[in-house]
Structure 1
Amino acid sequence: MSLIDRLREALTQPSVLPLLEGDLPEERALASVPAAVLVGITDRPDPGVILTVRREHMRTHAGQVAFPGGRIDPGENSVEAALREAWEELGLDPGAAEIVGAIDPYRTVTGYVVTPVLAVVQPDQPLSPHEHEVADWFEAPLGFVLDPTNQQYKSALFQGRERHYYEIMWGERRIWGATASMIVNLSRRLQWN
């Protein structure tokens, strides 16, 4: 079975564990800006997931690991926005990404409702980070990030309250917050093994 068929079949199954809805659940009404990210899975014998490192000067999530993505522009749907953002941020040719489907939206603390768009990407694409937005990019092993033993549940004080979040450490790369939570949701949906 091909990778894309395996992913499509897995997404048709119900999640055994509850999915994470978003950050700051008591402030759901604040999350209202539609956005999309591309969860690019490389079509390799051992698939990887493409992630970016945001530049330090960015207004939100500076220096953090993220999926390529951003706001949905007027007239766009989540798939179009995710492909456009991956093109703008990494130079990822939209024709090199085969869409599997959109998965469950996630609300961020910064007021976005993010729809992750899962796609299978041809391996070894010549990616070129946007000089003003992306400091770096990398491919983390899909099996590693989807493994619940690598998804650490942590807490920290935020705005005077204890907040909980997920963190995935892959080498020196710290994947945390909304990106890690979307990976946790993906692992719960795919039940990858």
Structure 2
Amino acid sequence: MSKTQTGKTQISRRTVAKGAAWTVPVIATAAAAPAASASVVPGQSSAGPVQVACKLTSPVPLEATWTLTLTATTPTSVSPGDAIPAPSLTATVTTDDQSGDLLRQLGVTSLDGTSTAPYTVSGAIVNPGDRSATLTVPPTDVDPEGTGGLTTTATGAGAGETAGGSAGSIVVTLKPFDISLTAHGGAFDGSNIAGTCTPPDGTVLAPATQVK
């Protein structure tokens, strides 16, 4: 993301050598990668869709209610003491209609940027406490003929963890997250759209990973 040649076509020694050389770093990389514990059962958890209270500080002050859906590749279950791989995170945020229409009226044609997403890990985990993930928003087109809210999708990774020594649940609680987007086109071309969005208290990823 290969084509096998047949018939009288001959594969040269040079071609074989090139192929062998290409596989060396791949094999080396695979050998260096730590093997996942067989007791770590892959899974996925999510939060949302939930309404988040957003306060923008630039380019103009704005308060609005947007919608967040967050998914994470957290294991369904692990054994005590297991190493838990860093989860892949995907956050989809949709603005309210007024915010989306305002950006169109100002001639914004695309957005890109980052989001800093803190969260707390508690329960059956070694070193519970606060964590933070940096998510990337790729270039996202704004349809000038569209109406209503705009949707951006940010991706990144959380922190790897170690399961605690006894059975229980690993709870991931969302915290207010920052957004920093660059607007392209129109009156705000090159401007930074910055602010903080706050999810409801107690918003958690579900289902929680079980240590058993």
TM-score, with structure 2 as normaliser: 0.23
Compare CA radii of gyration and give the structure with the larger one.
2
Which protein has the bigger strand share?
A: 2
Which protein has the bigger helix share?
A: 1
Structure of higher RCO (CA pairs closer than 8 Å, 6+ residues apart): 1
TM-score, with structure 1 as normaliser: 0.25
